[in-house]
Amino acid sequence: NAGVTQTPKFQVLKTGQSMTLQCAQDMNHNSMYWYRQDPGMGLRLIYYSASEGTTDKGEVPNGYNVSRLNKREFSLRLESAAPSQTSVYFCASSEAVIDTDTQYFGPGTRLTVL
């Protein structure tokens, strides 16, 4: 089992460019999440998907869109990247959206927007 995988691992964008971060899990989990981690801020929830076919905004959704493509895959899209979106992005999954469930994280994508 690979667990949660993310691509790419690193990315550099120019302001205004778009890109999609990919995430997949092979644990048959229902719920998936996108977080960003910035120095001194802790992880912050961008979007989550409680189950296949549903997505909801988290704490910091502005500037992002998501797609739950199927049960395994949950992508995060930046339509017009801004320097403020320079961050480390983590995808996570859990059995259910009940917060007591363990969340399993992917290895992260380090994004720099120039």
Partner 1 sequence: RKEVEQDPGPFNVPEGATVAFNCTYSNSASQSFFWYRQDCRKEPKLLMSVYSSGNEDGRFTAQLNRASQYISLLIRDSKLSDSATYLCVVNYPFNFGNEKLTFGTGTRLTIIP
By CB under 8 A, how many residues form the interface with partner 1?
21
Tokens of 30: 């229902």
For every residue of 1-38, DSSP letters joined together read: ---EEEE-SEEEE-TT--EEEEEEESS--SEEEEEEEE
Nearer to partner 1, 15 or 41 (CB): 41
Residue 58 lies near partner 1 (rule: CB under 8 A): yes
43 binds partner 1 (CB under 8 A): yes
Q: State whether residue 85 is helix, strand or coil.
A: helix
Residues 59-88 that bind partner 1 (CB under 8 A): 59
Closest CB to partner 1 among 27 and 43? 43
Instruction: In angstroms, give the least distance from the CB of 22 to partner 1.
Output: 16
53 binds partner 1 (CB under 8 A): no
Q: In whole angstroms, what is the distance from residue 54 CA to residue 7 CA?
A: 22
Contact 70, 93 (CB under 8 A): no
CB of 68 to partner 1, least distance (A): 16
